[in-house]
Every structure is written in structure tokens, then in C-alpha cells.
A and B are shown apart, each in its own frame.
Chain A
Amino acid sequence: GAVVSQHPSWVICKSGTSVKIECRSLDFQATTMFWYRQFPKQSLMLMATSNEGSKATYEQGVEKDKFLINHASLTLSTLTVTSAHPEDSSFYICSGAPPTDTQYFGPGTRLTVL
């Protein structure tokens, strides 16, 4: 299957700072990427759909000004958590898909906000 990477795999930051997470499709071009968030003992929750060259579409209840998504190329999407607070601590996962194939997920990024 296709390979998706994320960087960093984990990050610890202070409250009030911003954190950027990268999602890369290594062996395919992804016109669409997705961002999910997962809290402990819970399922994945879709945050937003990221389309290359256009604005992301956010799910209801997700603050677009807090979670900035940029999909500048067919192989890279970034999620920036702005002014992070302890309640933003979570496991962030991205996914992408080749044009005629299903979605493949990255390994996830664990964010801890102190």
C-alpha cells in the first residue's frame, strides 16, 4: 500500500505556543488529505479535509483559526495548532489517497501541551 509519513512523531510544547505537524505522501500524489484527532480511549474524529491549492473544509465544531491547515503541494499538508493549550493534547493523524485508491494513514503525532 501507499506510504504516508508524519513529522514529528511526538512533540511537547508550552501552553500558548504554536506547533506545526507535517504530513507527506511518500510514493503517491494526494489531491486530498484528511486530518484526524484521537483522544485516549476514543475513536478517531475527523477534523478537516485538505485539498491541494484550496482552503480546507473543517468539520462542525473544529475551530479553523486554531487549527490552520495548508496543502501547498500534492505531497505535503501541514496542520498548525496555534496558541496550544493543555486540552489540545491529543494524537493527530493524517491520511491521503492516490487518485484511484483508498486512504492510507500516517503513523500519527502525539502532542503534549504543558
Chain B
Amino acid sequence: DAKTTQPPSMDCAEGRAANLPCNHSTISGNEYVYWYRQIHSQGPQYIIHGLKNNETNEMASLIITEDRKSSTLILPHATLRDTAVYYCIVRVGGGNQGGKLIFGQGTELSVKP
């Protein structure tokens, strides 16, 4: 699976949009981009995933560049409860298909009042 690069930390003001970047320049054509987050001392929480089209759900939006070498997770109106470590992972397969997730260091997002 391709490797991802994320900034180690970011700050965001409460109520503003949080834009978390991820580079995955070696991504293959059949690899999906997944985003998870981990709030302190809890298990990771699934946020969103996509292949090449932009995706949106009730939690966030995922913007993938046309060349698929990078993506951005957008939390439209960040709250204090969004403070967490956010992980960008690339993996073969959009469903389960037995594919394992390899976690990098992630981005520690701090939402401040």
C-alpha cells in the first residue's frame, strides 16, 4: 500500500472549516483514500473514503486532486469535539475485501475556542 504524508499538527478555530492535507504521491490506480480519526484513549472512528471523485457525508468532505497524488479532508464547521488525531490511509479496495489498514503518524488537530 502507498505511503502517506501528513503535517504532524494543526490548529483550527471553533466554527471555522478545518482543512487537513494528505500527500500520497505513489498511490496506485486501485487504491482508495481513507480517513479515520482517533480521539484520545478511544478506538479510531471511520470518517470517509474515496477513489477519485470528491465525497461528502454527514461528517466531512473529501477532496481528491485530479492526479490523485494528494487529498484534503474538510470538516466544515469544526467544534471542540473534533479535536483528535486524523489519519489518512491509502489501501486497495473500497469495501472490506480483507484489506488491512496501515496507520501513519497522522495529524493532531486542535480546535480552539
- Residues from chain A with a CB closer than 8 A to the CB of B34 are 102
- The answer to whether A44 touches B103 (Cβ under 8 A) is yes
- The answer to whether B98 touches A103 (Cβ under 8 A) is no
> Which of A6, A97, A99, A105 is close to B44, meaning CB atoms less than 8 Å apart?
A105
- Residues from chain A with a CB closer than 8 A to the CB of B45 are 105
A49 within 8 A of B: yes
- The answer to whether B102 touches A46 (Cβ under 8 A) is yes
- Residues from chain A with a CB closer than 8 A to the CB of B95 are 97, 99-102
Most buried by A among B41, B43, B96, B100: B43
> Which of A31, A46, A93 is close to B100, meaning CB atoms less than 8 Å apart?
A46
> Which of B36, B43, B104, B106 is close to A108, meaning CB atoms less than 8 Å apart?
B43
The 8 A CB mask of A94-110 against B (1 = contact, 0 = none) is 01011111111111101
A78 within 8 A of B: no
Interface hits, A75-114 → B, CB 8 Å: 91, 93, 95, 97-108, 110
- The answer to whether A34 touches B101 (Cβ under 8 A) is yes
- The answer to whether A34 touches B44 (Cβ under 8 A) is no
Taking A105-B44, A105-B45 as contacts, is the C-beta distance between A95 and B101 under 8 angstroms?
yes
> Which of B96, B102, B104 is close to A101, meaning CB atoms less than 8 Å apart?
B96
A103 to B89, CA, bound (A): 12
- The answer to whether A44 touches B44 (Cβ under 8 A) is yes
- The answer to whether A108 touches B96 (Cβ under 8 A) is no
Give the shortest distance, in Å, between A32 (CB) and chain B (any CB): 5
Interface hits, B61-113 → A, CB 8 Å: 87, 94-96, 98, 100-106
- The answer to whether B44 touches A32 (Cβ under 8 A) is no
- The answer to whether B46 touches A1 (Cβ under 8 A) is yes
- The answer to whether B96 touches A103 (Cβ under 8 A) is yes
- CB within 8 Å of A: which residues of B? 34, 36, 38, 41-46, 49, 87, 94-96, 98, 100-106
In the complex, the 10 A-B pairs of residues with the closest C-beta atoms, listed nearest first:
A105-B43, A97-B96, A44-B103, A100-B95, A105-B44, A43-B103, A108-B43, A107-B43, A32-B98, A93-B43
